[in-house]
Amino acid sequence: MNWCLVAGARPQFIKLAPLIHALKKRGESFFLIHTGQHYDENMSELFFREMDIPAPHVNLEIGSLSHGAQTGRMIEQMEAVLLQENRSIVVLFGDTNSTLAGAVAASKLKIPIAHIEAGLRSFNFDMPEEQNRILTDHLSTFLFCPTQGAEIQLVREGIEDGKKYQGRYLSQRHVSVTGDIMADALYSFSARAADQNQKDKMKYEDEPFLLLTLHRAENTDDARRLKEIFSQLEDIRLPIILPLHPRTAKMLKKENIVLSSRIYVTEPLGYLDMIRLERKARCIITDSGGIQKEAYLLKVPCVTLRRETEWTETLSHGWNQLAYSAQGLQIGEALEKALCLDRGKTLWPAYYGDGHAAERIIERVKSWGNASL
Ligand code: UD1
Ligand code: UDP
């Protein structure tokens, strides 16, 4: 197979790493397109270095633009690259504008698409990610679901696995539950993250602390909401470490929001530092999709700064608490519940698989390739 992999934003580099390592192990040929959606050293290059991801074959260097302009330019440039490269499958990750652009470019050229993290839904159509993931799923040939719930959602939308007849597939759709590829990354880089322990300790790291991340448009782009979040965080007793996303940094500056002295702000961190802090945190407060999952995988309680989550399994048994109640944003209340969780005794089903999603994905695509010859 001639694989083409598309990534452009921080969480996609993390999802890409296990797949690239598995492809390399099998001697598969791949071509990597970086869209350039994220471009700061600590939002992009750092992950390639830490996770041993080979340099992209091409970087489209699209950068930050409005949604339409960013996605449109990516589509145009990706089409040109795909026409030159003659690849037999395009692999897309998650739900960013880079994902949607890859889906449109590949489907117009009739190149089969494999979507990793298919079937996730927040049912909040205002989120750009919800639009991206629905459109991408509906354009994909291979839908790799992290969980059973995601597969069921695809069935509800009329996307079902095609049956094989006399060695050939009858339908264009191939749906499988593989486990979550972020679990692959977490399990395989955990030991390295622990080794980092001795180096460059962060302020508050050796005492009980909370880890905070915040970058969703719905939280950052509404100044009133952003102020409300930080005002509620003022009332929290524990110190907070905040690796600050550039989007949020920009908004805090624009709105002149001054943070409490108990919030220790750092630049965005590398994956290994991040995993180390996640593991040590008393609780993680976040609006990130990936970090909600990592909190669950590491058995660390989490408070999600959103009204809903697509990672609904994390809510069962109380590992994850939504910060919104009928009374609106109530971070303190949610945190109290999260901190009461008995980590040793609370049920923890392995919803996100065993850390071997990448191998399953490659197997499934290859078996299709052989059957359709
Ligand atoms: C994007 C994804 C989001 C994902 C997040 C991961 C979309 C619609 N959103 O959101 O789903 O959760 O990435 O982090 O695709 N910026 C920099 N340097 C960078 C990158 C961004 O300064 O390297 C700043 C720019 O001011 C930019 C802003 O951050 O305008 C937002 O970047 P963008 O990629 O548009 O969206 P994210 O919020 O990062
Ligand atoms: N992450 C990181 N450094 C940071 C913040 C996040 O390495 O400073 C990692 C985090 O551990 C997770 C991924 O980035 O693996 C999540 O990405 P992000 O929150 O940007 O996006 P989302 O998952 O919400 O799309």
Residue with tokens 């300790």: 201
Query: Does ligand 1 lie within 6 Å of residue 40's CB atom?
Result: yes
Residue with tokens 């489907």: 107
**Whether pLDDT at 72 is above 50:** yes
Query: Model confidence over 310-337: pLDDT tens digits?
Result: 999 999 999 999 999 989 999 999 999 9
At 373, list the tokens.
């010859």
Query: Model confidence over 252-306: pLDDT tens digits?
Result: 999 999 999 999 999 999 999 999 999 999 999 999 999 999 999 999 999 999 9
Q: How confident is the model at residue 197 (pLDDT cuts 50, 70, 90)?
A: low
Instruction: Examine the residue annotation and report whether 67 is marked as an active-site residue of this protein.
Output: no
Q: How confident is the model at residue 373 (pLDDT cuts 50, 70, 90)?
A: very low
Rama region for 210: left / alpha / beta (φ>0; ψ in -120 to 50; rest) = beta
Å from CA of 368 to ligand 1 middle: 35
Query: Does ligand 1 lie within 6 Å of residue 38's CB atom?
Result: yes
Query: Model confidence over 129-176: pLDDT tens digits?
Result: 999 999 999 999 999 999 999 999 999 999 998 877 777 766 679 999
Q: How confident is the model at residue 196 (pLDDT cuts 50, 70, 90)?
A: low
For strand 89-93 and strand 174-177, is the pairing parallel, antiparallel, or unpaired? unpaired
Number of CB atoms found within 10 A of residue 343's CB: 10
pTM for the predicted model, two decimal places: 0.96
Query: Does ligand 1 lie within 6 Å of residue 61's CB atom?
Result: no
Q: Closest residue (by CA) to atom 20 of ligand 1?
A: 38
Ligand closest to the CA atom of residue 275: 2
Query: Does ligand 2 lie within 6 Å of residue 294's CB atom?
Result: yes
Residue with tokens 């303190």: 332
Query: Does ligand 2 lie within 6 Å of residue 243's CB atom?
Result: yes
Q: Whole-angstrom Cα distance, residue 241 to residue 264?
A: 5
Number of CB atoms found within 10 A of residue 237's CB: 9
**Whether pLDDT at 198 is above 60:** no
* C-alpha 176, offset from chain centre: 19
Identify the residue with better confidence: 230 or 198: 230
For ligand 2, what atom is nearest to the CA of residue 267? 8
Ligand closest to the CA atom of residue 7: 1
**Whether pLDDT at 249 is above 80:** yes
What pLDDT score was predicted for residue 202?
85
Give the active site residue among 115, 174, 215, 245.
215
Query: Does ligand 1 lie within 6 Å of residue 65's CB atom?
Result: no
What pLDDT score was predicted for residue 166?
74
Q: Whole-angstrom Cα distance, residue 116 to residue 103?
A: 12
At 5, list the tokens.
């992999």
Q: Which domains does the chain have, with CATH numbers?
A: 2-180+353-372 (3.40.50.2000), 199-339 (3.40.50.2000)
**How many residues does the structure list for the chain?**
373
For ligand 1, what atom is nearest to the CA of residue 290? 12
Q: What mean pLDDT value characterizes the chain?
A: 95
Dihedral sign from CA coordinates of 32, 37, 38, 40 = positive
What pLDDT score was predicted for residue 191?
83
Query: Does ligand 2 lie within 6 Å of residue 288's CB atom?
Result: yes
What pLDDT score was predicted for residue 199?
61
Nearest to 231 by CA among 264, 256, 260, 261: 260
Max CA distance (Å), the chain: 68
Å from CA of 9 to ligand 2 middle: 9
Q: Closest residue (by CA) to atom 21 of ligand 1?
A: 38
Q: Whole-angstrom Cα distance, residue 12 to residue 298?
A: 20
Torsion angle, CA of 315/317/321/326, rounded to 10 degrees? 90
Q: Are 154 and 143 in contact (CB under 8 A)?
A: yes
**Window from 18-22, 197-201, 256-260, 282-286 with minimum mean pLDDT:** 197-201
Ligand closest to the CA atom of residue 74: 1
Query: Model confidence over 35-66: pLDDT tens digits?
Result: 999 999 999 999 999 999 999 999 999 999 99
Q: Are 181 and 18 in contact (CB under 8 A)?
A: yes
Name residue 219's amino acid. N
